[in-house]
Amino acid sequence: MVRLSNSIVVLVNVLTLVISVAVIGGAAWSYTHPGSLCHRVLQQPLLFLGLSLLAVSLLGLIGACCRVQFLLWIYLFVMFVLIVGLVCFTVFTVVVTNKGVGKAVSDKGYKEYRLGDYSNWLRKYVVNQENWAKIRSCLVVADVCSTLGANPNETLADFRKRTLSPIQSGCCKPPTSCGFKFKNATYWTAPKTGGPAAADGDCATWSNNQSVLCYGCQSCKAGVLANIKKEWKLLAIINVVVLVFVIIIYSIGCCALRNVRSSGYLQSGKGHP
């Protein structure tokens, strides 16, 4: 049992060590190949994740291989903190993504999204002014609207049948309430008289410039939040699976620590009468 629990801890941490080296390598590559603002946003989180995985895996490896109780205690403490963190984050993601849903538009295959329908936390901390410049840069780099205008012969009736993603609906076209006239999927003209049909700030923000479109619109931010909500719901499910795995590893680590302590106790001669 001593060898089995220690071997499992060693195996898991060898895999974690390999992953950490790969993540650190990816972060280092991004630093030496500077790209857009979107790419630069990922550099520090990647480096932090890689270094954290490296430190934890080394603690587990050295503690299990060399049977160092102190390092195993630190390793188990970090794993316990990770378990608590995963539980808290899973609950948090469910709570903050509970609000918000796209509104179906009459006779159209897509939905439209309003920023006010989402939780205050998401609006305040995810799509705030500071973060939005980075998110907008990512949207432009990803060119999320390019495929919409690929068919020059598309009619308004054809466009209305499309199933658009939340980001495409919010960022690549003006809101339906603006009353703009369709030229193609990413080119719309304002009414010649009377201005937009709705007193919506997004109507004035819309631009036919293909690098601008509605990337500055509130509807675009709402589309991003709708996408984040969907991804975080999936992330919550993944977190539960990871949590079960980490709890199993934590339990095996506890067994390894107990075995190391028993081994040290017997080797010191205290286990004999």
At 191, the amino acid letter reads: P
CB 73 within 8 A of CB 257: yes
Query: In which residue are the tokens 């819309």 written?
Result: 206
pLDDT tens, 7-37?
A: 888 888 888 889 888 888 877 876 776 555 5
Residue 220 CA to residue 226 CA, distance in Å, equals: 10
pLDDT of 217: 92
Spell out the residues 6+ positions from residue 250 whose beta carbon is closer than 8 angstroms to its own: 76, 79, 80, 83
SS (H, E, C) the chain: CHHHHHHHHHHHHHHHHHHHHHHHHHHHHHHHCCCCHHHHHCHHHHHHHHHHHHHHHHHHHHHHHCCCHHHHHHHHHHHHHHHHHHHHHHHHHHHHCCCCCCEECCCCCCEECCHHHCCHHHHHHCCCHHHHHHHHHHHHHHCCCCCCCCCCCCCHHHHHCCCCCHHHHHHCCCCHHHCCEEEECCEEECCCCCCCCCCCHHHHHCCCCCCCCCCCCHHHHHHHHHHHHHHHHHHHHHHHHHHHHHHHHHHHHHHHHHHHHHHHHHHCCCCCC
Burial class (CB in 10 A: 0-12, 13-18, 19+), 32: exposed
pTM of the complete model: 0.74
Burial class (CB in 10 A: 0-12, 13-18, 19+), 75: buried
Ranges of residues in the chain with a pLDDT under 70 are 1-3, 30, 33-43, 45, 100-108, 193-200, 263-273
Q: Angle 214-218-220 (CA atoms, 0-180°, nearest 5)?
A: 50
pLDDT of 107: 58
